[in-house]
Chain A
Amino acid sequence: AQTVTQSQPEMSVQEAETVTLSCTYDTSESDYYLFWYKQPPSRQMILVIRQEAYKQQNATENRFSVNFQKAAKSFSLKISDSQLGDAAMYFCAYSEAGANNLFFGTGTRLTVIP
């Protein structure tokens, strides 16, 4: 069964600094997708970044980038130049290619310190 593990329940970062959130997953599939979703206090789930397993290049979206290590089944999120608006719960999620459902981790609550 696919599982997604986020080992950091809480993280904090100083404004303008960089923080890395960890995620590992377990799967026997070779073709899949990985995601980071952000859930601010409003509780809406917002897509931050997506990575296709077949792509070797790490995905990047402005200040957000991932370190995708397929052999290690690791998918960490780096937030550069942290802003107060980055404070939220961050969920790592996995989806098998062609499958319907997303498997979510338990989340990491990120606090940004002014």
Chain B
Amino acid sequence: EPEVTQTPSHQVTQMGQEVILRCVPISNHLYFYWYRQILGQKVEFLVSFYNNEISEKSEIFDDQFSVERPDGSNFTLKIRSTKLEDSAMYFCASRMTETETQYFGPGTRLLVL
């Protein structure tokens, strides 16, 4: 069964450094998402992406964040200058249509020191 994959599974970085989190959505899906989950808290929406542009973003998704679909398969989340509070689990999700279920990847655990 096709699934969403994410790399790396874990990343440790120094405050102020740039990180890129990578996701490969399910191949025939058209809608892509990033969510984050700070340890012990609920999962929060960051951004949605469709037709090569952001369709919606939350208040969390400020100028330090950007997303890109550089080729036909990858979907990336970049954090330009990481802060301690960016430490979280980051989940990528995708779906085929607006009415279909979102399928989540296994997540990337980001730790900012």
Contact = CB atoms under 8 A, between A and B. Distances in A.
A47 B105 CA distance: 11
A44 B58 CA distance: 22
B75 interface: no
Nearest to A98: B98
A101 B106 contact: no
Interface of A: 33, 35, 37, 42-47, 50, 91, 93, 95, 97-107
A83 B107 CA distance: 25
A43 B104 CA distance: 11
Nearest to B91: A45
B55 interface: yes
A99 B98 CA distance: 7
Counting chain B CB atoms within 10 Å of each CB, which of A37, A44, A93, A107 scores highest?
A44
Counting chain A CB atoms within 10 Å of each CB, which of B31, B42, B106 scores highest?
B42
Contacts of B44: 104
A100 B51 CA distance: 13
Interface in B74-113: 89, 91, 93, 98-99, 101-107, 109
B31 A100 contact: yes
Given A43-B107, A104-B42, A106-B42, A97 B99 contact: yes
Nearest to A31: B99
A101 B107 CA distance: 17
Contacts of B12: none
Contacts of B99: 33, 97-98
